[in-house]
Structure 1
């Protein structure tokens, strides 16, 4: 599987991340509709790639509170 280089992606950070001491992730939409995720403090570091289906399942889990402590 080939991945779009991280430098070619348009990264965005949630407005909720403001004022949290830099503990943020950034998300970019991939050409195939999936998503890439990286640590905003390490833009040259590792990037996680998710298919569209994986991203939709993750968001559903967040909305349903599956990751709440």
Structure 2
């Protein structure tokens, strides 16, 4: 499903500061999945992730599965 990555709805983490360009942006499209792109290169392409895969990733991330050890 081709979607123009200039469409509205892209967002960064609430923890991202306004001057921080080291982030990814996400856009959730109901029924299509979640798009992820580099905030420094918005025209560089979008990685589209299916809804169930995004849900699984999100749950694991919230549980700390990808946290680096201290």
TM-score interval, smaller chain = 0.7 to 0.9
**Corresponding residue number in structure 2 for 1:60:** 59
Give per-residue Cα distances to partners, 1:12-62, cap 9 Å, x unaligned: 112201067311111111242511010111110121101110110010110
CA RMSD of aligned residues (A): 1.8
Q: Which moved more, 1:45-54 or 1:15-24?
A: 15-24
User: Aligned pairs, how many?
Assistant: 68
**Corresponding residue number in structure 2 for 1:51:** 50
The structure where helix makes up a greater share of residues is 1
Q: Which moved more, 1:20-29 or 1:39-48?
A: 20-29
Aligned partners of 1:64, 1:54: CA distance in 2, in Å? 16
1:4 maps onto 2:14 in alignment:
no
Structure 1: which 5+ residue stretches go unaligned?
A: none
Distance change >3 Å, CA 9–CA 54, structure 1 → 2: farther
